[in-house]
Structure 1
Amino acid sequence: MPSIVAIPHTAADAERTPVAADRLVAGTPTQAVANAYSDPGEAFHCGVWEGDVGAWRVHYTEHEFCHMLAGRVRIRGDDGSETVVAAGESFVIPAGFRGIWDVLEPARKLYAVYEPAG
């Protein structure tokens, strides 16, 4: 029988890495990911992410549910849309989204990612 998996609310033990230079828009942000669970088929993942102030380009091939634990981010779509989310708020970024992830205040979120086959 599978066991219940606890999801940490901090990535304190995770290695911080810089955002890839080819995606960087502003600042010199680093980020850390502490993945707590992946299903056997590697289609579903969840854990905690932390990021520093800065902005970078994103292209989602996965669907991602996020719950902000700390900070504030602005997500700008290539279609001109703009969403600002802060600690305590939840949202979904659908597969196919392209735009800029802009961390306005050091941020931390819980994530659950589903990567469709294909």
Structure 2
Amino acid sequence: MQPPAERYSVPRSFILSGDPVQTVTYIYTSPDNLFAAGIWTCEIGKFRIDFGRAEFIQILEGEVIVTDAEGSSRTYRAGDAFVTPKGFSGTWDVIAPIKKHFTWYGSGE
């Protein structure tokens, strides 16, 4: 049985447009909280983000434009997979409601 999704919102100060309400469902979290895997969803909107952990991402549904702090951007759609390194800073512009599978590693500090 899969645990229930937790709903949350991006802090208002991080939102650049839209209402990117999100959910996360953790399928696994290691006992030391250094590794986790799960499903994340997000509604349409653009927001600033800072990754405190290295994260593997596979887009299951939707479309997002990820732009780093230097202004380089890439568009990811269903079927695409990529890694966001610890320390990444930039924006996520969700242009079609997105669902991703994620695994992350690190302390988040």
TM-score (norm 2): 0.92
**Structure having the larger proportion of residues in strand:** 2
Please list every run of at least 4 consecutive aligned residues from structure 1 whose deviation after the TM superposition is greater than 4 angstroms: none
- RMSD, aligned α-carbons: 1.9
Distance 1:31 1:41, change over 3 A: same
For the pair shown, which has the larger CA radius of gyration, 1 or 2? 1
Which of these residues, 87, 91, 98, is aligned with residue 100 of structure 1? 91
Q: 1: CA distance between counterparts of 2:26 and 2:108?
A: 20
In the alignment, what sits opposite 1:114?
A: 105
Q: CA deviation at 1:15?
A: 3.5
TM-score (norm 1): 0.85
Distance 1:16 1:116, change over 3 A: closer
Q: 1: CA distance between counterparts of 2:77 and 2:19?
A: 21
Q: 1: CA distance between counterparts of 2:76 and 2:13?
A: 25
2:79 alignment partner, SS class: coil
Aligned residues between the structures: 109
Unaligned runs of 5+ in 1: 1-5
Unaligned runs of 5+ in 2: none
Report if aligned partners of 2:53, 2:108 keep a CA contact under 8 Å in 1: no
